[in-house]
Amino acid sequence: MSMDIVIAGFGTVGQGVAEAIAMRKDLIREAFGKEARIVGAFDSSSAIYSEEGLDPSVLLANKSGTGRVGDEPLVDGVAFLESIDYDVLVEVSPTNIETGGSGLHHIRSALSNGRHVVTVNKGPLALAFGELSRLAQANGVEMRYEGSVGGAMPIINLCRESLMGQNIDSIMGILNGTCNFILSRMDDGLPFEQALKEAQELGYAETDPSYDINGVDTACKVVILANSVFGIDCTYDDVDVTGITAITEEAVAMAADQNYCIRLIGEISPERLEVSPRLITRGHPLSVTGTLNVAQVNTDLAGPISISGRGAGRMETASAILSDLLAIMRSNVNNK
């Protein structure tokens, strides 16, 4: 008995997922009485499939040795997915916020064909959350996306499961580690350009950092939380977005004089979907420094609850995907 997994995208996160599944192989078999098997994987140019299951270490060795995960050329991800048998698609191809990218096609194909989906790819979710959720429901399968907001920080499960029965009034969060690193270094006196350069040198910011510093990445996470926690049927265009590029050294110094720091905050509530730099009192849970992500969930019965964790990284993100995979296994334990 097994849950058969296909990984779309075999870069940093895809490889982390293969490694995490291999690391937890025995624990999974013991807990669920069946195996989590990778039966397929593909990257931008190659694919591999075996109904008998693939050894994760072979996939990792293929990728590091040749740059390709498989020896079959990949013509079209959707055609590949529709030619094979599997239970769950792990979609971790590159994010495209304008079109949803190939990830959107992969997810649509999987859900339409009755396969569960686990993804951390924000583009498809920010553009088509409602459509994809309805597709999952219509086909009797699950779509899970814990790692798409806050990486290893389990904000979605916290709100949807642990805080069940609460009214959640709002969520305020630092949901982009790159911006938080830049703002933290500005607290130390660095001008924006220098702090950005340092973030790029340390590998925290992309060569093109525009999605991060213009607030686009945070806005995608606002959309995912608004849909999944508040049931607000919205897309990226519904979020009011201001990034951090206009923040000056003078503004940061003036804030510090009044015991504040400036942080890029995503706010989600039934009244407001917003990304903007805010003044945060030093010592408040949202005044964290460095690349950490943090969120404060404001509830009616429990009051404010804060959670923080690493917002990105190979194994950190893979850990969230693993938890979604196991949740699917748990709810389908009697199948196959």
Ligand X SMILES: NC(=O)c1ccc[n+]([C@@H]2O[C@H](COP(=O)([O-])OP(=O)(O)OC[C@H]3O[C@@H](n4cnc5c(N)ncnc54)[C@H](OP(=O)(O)O)[C@@H]3O)[C@@H](O)[C@H]2O)c1
| Sites of contact with ligand X (CB under 6 A) | 8-14, 42-45, 77, 92-95, 102, 120-122, 147, 151, 312-313, 317
Residue 273: burial class (beta carbons within 10 Å; 0-12, 13-18, 19+): buried
* H/E run at residue 249: helix 249-257
CA distances from 181 to 151, 221, 236, 301 (A): 16, 18, 24, 33
Q: Are strands 46-54 and 35-42 parallel, antiparallel or unpaired?
A: antiparallel
Q: Which of 25, 34, 197, 221 is catalytic?
A: 221
Q: Which residue is nearest to ligand X (CB)?
A: 11
Assign residue 84 a region: left if phi > 0, alpha if psi is -120 to 50, beta otherwise?
A: beta
Q: Where are the beta strands (DSSP E) in the chain?
A: 2-8, 35-42, 46-54, 72-73, 88-91, 116-119, 143-144, 168-174, 240-241, 260-268, 273-281, 292-299, 304-310
Q: Residue 259 CB: number of other CB atoms within 10 A?
A: 11
Q: For the CA atoms of the chain, what is the radius of gyration?
A: 20
Instruction: Give the C-alpha separation, 91 to 68, whole Å.
Output: 17
Q: Which of 256, 237, 273, 89 is nearest to 187 (CA)?
A: 256
> How many CA within 13 A on the CB side of residue 86?
30
221 is catalytic: yes
What is the chain's length?
336
Eight-state DSSP code of residue 283 = T
CA distance 279 to 255: 7
Active site residues per annotation:
221
